Structure 1
Amino acid sequence: MVKFCNGGDKLEITITTSETVTWNFGDGDLPTGNAETSDATKTVMTLPTLTAAHTGVYKATYDPNKVEKFTIIVGAKTCTAVTPCIVKPGGSIHLDSGEPTGVTWYFKAPSGSETEIKDSGTDDPPKFTDTDKKELGLFNLQKAESGTYTAKKPSKAAKDFPVAVRAPVTEAKVQKRQSGCNVILECNVDGDAKSFKWTNGGTVVADATQKQLTIQKVDAGANADYVCKATDYDNGEKTSATFAYTYAA
């Protein structure tokens, strides 16, 4: 099962068994800040103060080969069917179908086909809050998981949840290339830029809001210092170093 928590919450998981329980976080030991009970069987595991670092899969093994798995997600971004959800790589999402029973979830990448989302495989993290699959929770999202998540129930309209994984822009750099008789300056970025702005000698170039800027007047009159500013999906900004364009006959 999946449990959604907020930072600072206290978490307690209890296993109903008379056997001794072994706890793991992912494939390793429990994370720092974890306190097990002093009970000899360790049937209760407590996290006194949750942080984002506690997000992951917790496994309780006992009897001697039974395994119970819990996905704990701290600070997930709640997405709705109305507004596209944008998260950073490594982020978490919380999708609520609004239907208490009979829900089936699907995922479709922009260039892929629709596939059903299931809790399958012994190594897979649990994805749903209960067996009725009312809510879906995913963590450590990567770009390949950008797409449309859909909750379907017979006789009900499907609900689409658009999700985009976008990396912050960490660097912007101007490069020049030739295209026929035109000179094109390109603002190359590390990360995902939402928008661009160009300046020429400190003056904003009107309507220059794309990654590429074409210099229309290719002669000595076009000589200038060009700078691009890239804005990412968290509204963080990175400004390039000045690119001194010099006309070469």
Structure 2
Amino acid sequence: MNIVVCVKYVPDAQADRAFSPDDNTTDREVDGLLSELDEYPVEEALKLAEATDGKVIALTVGPDDAEDAVRKALQMGAHEGVHVLDDAIHGSDALATSKVLAAALGKLEFDLVLTGMTSTDGTMGVVPAMLAERLGLPQVTLASELTVADGKATIRRDNDANTEIVEAALPAVVSVTDQINEPRFPSFKGIMAAKKKPLQTWSLDDLGISADEVGLSAAWTSVADVTARPPRTAGQVVTDEGDGGTKLVEFLAGAKLV
């Protein structure tokens, strides 16, 4: 079984994330890493591959540093990596991203495409559905459990009201939640082995996509304006002289919290 996992390089949540002052796109010059929610589909792909003697390919679209996201997947155990790198992709929205991913998948052989439930930067969660539509494949989303057998993928989807069992014929696109497994940590052996694993770099020309089909100028959505969050102000100290409770209620009432 050949499994392609779509992974994303995102700004570190612990870093000072910001928008670029030039075009209001996400500033990706800060430290980044493999999106935490993408570790779960990587782990699930590795488990399936181990059970079926299959192959896992990690696929990403992004700037130079996005290679680190693929490297992390290779360190975890993925067999190959593909990085779509092209300056024209800068500023692309979810529609353009799905277009590039679909074109890249068209050059790969796969039985299953796995993604995370959403990215930790954009948090839109729409790319899996867009990707399935572009590929003309069935999709099953938000899997908290996944079984692949007899030419079909079966998932369990949990929500607040009930649990659903959904099936789809392969090949299919499946997104998984952070409840599906516990991602492994790369071992020293895995880190060293990843250095020798094949990692291809493709441009838009390699995919047959014109530069005017992607990027900020072609985006259906963009950030019009950005206002920095104001700095935290000093707190108010209330000295309890027997009327602390009254002062607290007055404060809460003044803030319209009670």
What TM-score bracket applies, with the shorter chain setting the length? under 0.3
Relative to its length, the structure with more strand (as a share) is 1
* TM score, norm. by length of structure 2: 0.23
Q: Larger relative contact order (C-alpha < 8 A, sep ≥ 6)?
A: 2
| TM-score, with length taken from structure 1 | 0.24
Structure having the higher helix fraction is 2
> Larger radius of gyration, structure 1 or 2?
1
